[in-house]
Structure 1
Amino acid sequence: MRVCGCEISAQEVRLAVVHLNDEGNVEMLRLKTTRIELEDDTSEADLRLFLAALHEFSRENEIDTFVIKTRAKKGRMAGGAVSFKIETLIQLVEGCDTRFVSPVALSHFAKREIETYPEKLLVYLKNAFLASAYALTTG
Structure 2
Amino acid sequence: MRVCGCEISASEVRLAVAYHDDEGGVEMLRLKTTRVVLEDDTSEADLRSVLADLQQFSRDHEIDVCVIKTRAKKGRMAGGAVSFKIETLIQLVEGSKTKFVSPVTLSHYAKKGLDEYPEKLPVYLKNAFLSGAYALTKPGFLA
TM-score (norm 1): 0.99
| Residue 114 of structure 1, CA deviation | 1.5
Write the deviation string for residues 91-128 of structure 1: whole angstroms up to 9, x where unpaired. Answer: 00001000000000001111111232110000000000
Aligned match of 2:16:
16
Task: State the alpha-carbon separation in 2 of the partners of residues 116 and 99 from structure 1.
Answer: 23
Task: State the alpha-carbon separation in 2 of the partners of residues 25 and 64 from structure 1.
Answer: 18
Aligned match of 2:40:
40
Identity across matched positions, percent? 77
Aligned match of 1:103:
103
Aligned match of 1:83:
83
TM-score (norm 2): 0.96
Task: State the alpha-carbon separation in 1 of the partners of residues 28 and 115 from structure 2.
Answer: 15
Q: Which consecutive aligned stretches of 4+ in structure 1 deviate over 2 angstroms post-superposition?
A: none
Q: Which runs of 5+ in 1 are unaligned?
A: none
Amino acid at match of 2:14: R
Task: State the alpha-carbon separation in 2 of the partners of residues 27 and 124 from structure 1.
Answer: 17
Matched, 1:121 2:121: yes
Matched, 1:68 2:48: no
The CA RMSD measured in Å over matched residues stands at: 0.6
Write the deviation string for residues 26-70 of structure 1: whole angstroms up to 9, x where unpaired. Answer: 010000100000010000000000000000000110000000000
Task: State the alpha-carbon separation in 1 of the partners of residues 126 and 27 from structure 2.
Answer: 14
Q: Which runs of 5+ in 2 are unaligned?
A: none
